[in-house]
Amino acid sequence: MPLVAIFGVVVLLLSITASQLSPTLGMSWPSSKSMAVLTRLVLLLTLAPVTHAAWTHGLASHGGALSRRSAVHASAAPAALDAQRGVEAKKRVLILISDTGGGHRASAQAVEAAMNEQQHDLDISVVDLWTTHTPFPYNMFVPGYKFAAKNPLVWSAVYFSTEYKPFYSLLNCQGTLICYNGIRKCIEQYAPDLVVSMHPLCQDIPLKVLGDLAKESEAPRIPFATVVTDLGSAHPTWFHPGVDACFIPSDAVQDVALGSGVAAGQLRQYGLPVRKDFYAEPDVTREALAEQLGVANGRKTVLVVGGGDGVGSLEDIVGTLATRLGESCRDQAQLVVVCGKNDELRRQLESRSYDGVRVHVEGFVSNMPQWMAVADCLVTKAGPGTIAEAAIQGLPCMLFFHLPGQEAGNVPFVVDGGFGEYSEEPEVIAQTVCTWLQQPSLLEQMKQRALEAAAPQATQQIAQDLLAMI
Ligand code: UDP
């Protein structure tokens, strides 16, 4: 049976690969539609027995869990937890993420800090639900995302196939049966007064758990909100009609939400939550900051970022940019490259020598607002968090890569917003950046457009609304 499932998944990957590649290669793919239909049929047929097996297995384990439920719930009840901890009753907020990339955790920390700032008696926990509370292979989302983000065809296969509702429903059904117990235990353990999802895969099962808990205890369901951390496009799994509120950052995401069954009344559009240092007034000058960070004062500064994981062909881009800047702005420019969690990239870039330009290499930094504050422009993959942060800081963006589907909408957000360009070609990227640096009036114009697209109040507004739900 696993072989049958693997066969189905391989057929899916092949068909998506073929239909994605055909326009790029200039090939006509007249049967791509029928191939898609065939693929989905194969998938439905192959996944059905697997789902059936999981259902049988899941029911068996749920049976055991059901008999333990009341005891577990009682021991994790808020009052009991407070007694154990010997603290005054605090309102508990459980923020659910998966640490895929850097954006979900960054936004979660931003919301956590803003809520704590507005109300002091809170106990907020940010939890990577899938890594810490589900069994293999569901606990492998983080390495799985890293692999897929570096292999766009694999990413496309996963992203676009799960946009197909019947296929996603089957996967969701399996996921529920295998992961329900772990996720339920997590929610019971934290005994929250409010659950906030900040990940596209943290809606369905947590909402089911909350619904079941409410039925069993005959109490009102614990409030649940989704805060979408994508910007110009979003996967339909973000949107569940059962949420109490869904916070969205843009009109484009609003369209997906409405098309996915969420009602207009459930939607609140403020912007994407970012950490306070991005929108707070700086308390030091740019010069002082440059000194603190150990970079040259007075040089044009280009910040290069590949998201939390250092994704994209950064080595080529940095090499070409360094060469062109060394030629066109000799000894007047510097590159700051933030490699995120990509240690191999960091080692490669540090082992190179550069001529006519300074190159400063960092790993994962915890002070991104400061790095943005000393930069004249940003070269980045089209990550939603990084773009929202750059907009608030008025930084023009040269985008070099986007994940198919998920980040595609971030490109028009920047390009049509008038504060950046998109190219995957290192030469074009380098030429564009050199042109910007040589035209201060153009940089200033783009800076103004970035500020117009920014939503610096979003984090505080979201925090305020969430607090009103407790
Ligand atoms: N980030 C950071 N330090 C790093 C690299 C990235 O704090 O060294 C942050 C960045 O400021 C942003 C997030 O990680 O908040 C990246 O989110 P984005 O949505 O841009 O991309 P993702 O990594 O989630 O794909």
Q: What is the pLDDT of residue 63?
A: 36
CA of 289 to the centre of ligand 1 (A): 21
Shortest-distance atom of ligand 1 to CA 100: 24
How many CB atoms within 10 Å of residue 323?
A: 17
Q: Could you tell me if 309 and 230 lie in one domain? A: no
CA of 310 to the centre of ligand 1 (A): 9
* pLDDT digits (tens), the chain, 470 positions: 444 444 445 445 444 444 444 443 333 333 444 444 444 554 554 555 455 444 444 443 443 333 333 333 333 444 455 555 555 689 999 999 999 989 999 999 999 999 999 999 999 999 999 999 999 999 999 999 999 998 989 999 999 999 999 999 999 999 999 999 999 999 999 999 999 999 999 999 999 999 999 999 999 999 999 999 999 999 999 999 999 999 999 999 999 999 999 999 999 999 999 999 999 998 899 999 999 999 999 999 999 999 888 887 899 999 999 999 999 999 999 999 999 999 999 999 999 999 999 999 999 999 999 999 999 999 999 999 999 999 999 999 999 999 999 999 999 999 999 999 999 999 999 999 999 999 999 999 999 999 999 999 999 999 999 999 99
| Residue of the CA atom closest to atom 25 of ligand 1 | 101
CA of 386 to the centre of ligand 1 (A): 6
How far is Cα 210 from Cα 353, in angstroms, rounded to an integer?
Answer: 56
Shortest-distance atom of ligand 1 to CA 310: 5
Q: Could you tell me if 124 and 147 lie in one domain? A: yes
| Residue of the CA atom closest to atom 6 of ligand 1 | 308
CA of 123 to the centre of ligand 1 (A): 25
Residue 213 host element (H or E): helix 204-217
Residue 416 lies in a domain: yes
Q: Is there an atom of ligand 1 within 6 Å of 249 CB?
A: no
Q: Is there an atom of ligand 1 within 6 Å of 396 CB?
A: no
Q: Could you tell me if 417 and 401 lie in one domain? A: yes
Q: Is there an atom of ligand 1 within 6 Å of 340 CB?
A: yes
Residue 62 lies in a domain: no
Residue from 228, 305, 459 to probe ligand 1 pocket by mutation (most atoms less than 8 Å from CB): 305
Q: Could you tell me if 287 and 249 lie in one domain? A: no
With CA atoms as reference, report the closest residue to 391 among 442, 436, 445, 451: 451
Residue 59 lies in a domain: no
Q: What is the pLDDT of residue 26?
A: 38
Give the relative orientation of helices 440-453 and 426-438 as an angle to the nearest 10 degrees: 100
Q: Could you tell me if 240 and 376 lie in one domain? A: no
Q: Could you tell me if 265 and 305 lie in one domain? A: no
Shortest-distance atom of ligand 1 to CA 362: 8
Residue 382 lies in a domain: yes
Q: Is there an atom of ligand 1 within 6 Å of 97 CB?
A: no
CA atoms within 13 A on the CB side of 287: 1
Q: Is there an atom of ligand 1 within 6 Å of 368 CB?
A: yes
CA of 121 to the centre of ligand 1 (A): 29
Q: What is the pLDDT of residue 360?
A: 97
Q: What is the pLDDT of residue 150?
A: 87
How far is Cα 312 from Cα 149, in angstroms, rounded to an integer?
Answer: 8
How far is Cα 227 from Cα 249, in angstroms, rounded to an integer?
Answer: 9
Residue 161 lies in a domain: yes
pTM of the model: 0.84
CA of 268 to the centre of ligand 1 (A): 24
Q: Could you tell me if 382 and 425 lie in one domain? A: yes
Tell me if 318 sits within 8 A of 331, measured CB to CB: no
CA of 221 to the centre of ligand 1 (A): 34
CA of 101 to the centre of ligand 1 (A): 7
Q: Is there an atom of ligand 1 within 6 Å of 273 CB?
A: no
CA of 305 to the centre of ligand 1 (A): 8
Q: What is the pLDDT of residue 57?
A: 45
Q: Is there an atom of ligand 1 within 6 Å of 99 CB?
A: no
Q: Is there an atom of ligand 1 within 6 Å of 101 CB?
A: yes
Q: Could you tell me if 292 and 436 lie in one domain? A: yes
Q: Could you tell me if 263 and 288 lie in one domain? A: no
Residue 50 lies in a domain: no
Could you tell me the CATH number of the domain that includes residue 172? 3.40.50.2000
Q: Could you tell me if 265 and 200 lie in one domain? A: yes
Q: Could you tell me if 202 and 287 lie in one domain? A: no
Q: Give the chain's domain count.
A: 2
How far is Cα 407 from Cα 231, in angstroms, rounded to an integer?
Answer: 8
Q: Could you tell me if 147 and 219 lie in one domain? A: yes
With CA atoms as reference, report the closest residue to 382 among 445, 424, 345, 352: 424
| In the block, residue with structure tokens 């369209």 | 255
Shortest-distance atom of ligand 1 to CA 369: 11
* Domain, as residue range, for 387: 278-453
How far is Cα 400 from Cα 404, in angstroms, rounded to an integer?
Answer: 13
CA of 85 to the centre of ligand 1 (A): 35
CA of 401 to the centre of ligand 1 (A): 14
Residue 137 lies in a domain: yes
Q: Is there an atom of ligand 1 within 6 Å of 123 CB?
A: no
- Write the DSSP symbol of residue 66: H
Q: Is there an atom of ligand 1 within 6 Å of 308 CB?
A: yes
Residue 217 lies in a domain: yes
Residue from 104, 305, 386 to probe ligand 1 pocket by mutation (most atoms less than 8 Å from CB): 386
Q: Is there an atom of ligand 1 within 6 Å of 386 CB?
A: yes
Q: What is the pLDDT of residues 10-47, one digit of tens each?
A: 445 444 444 444 443 333 333 444 444 444 554 554 55
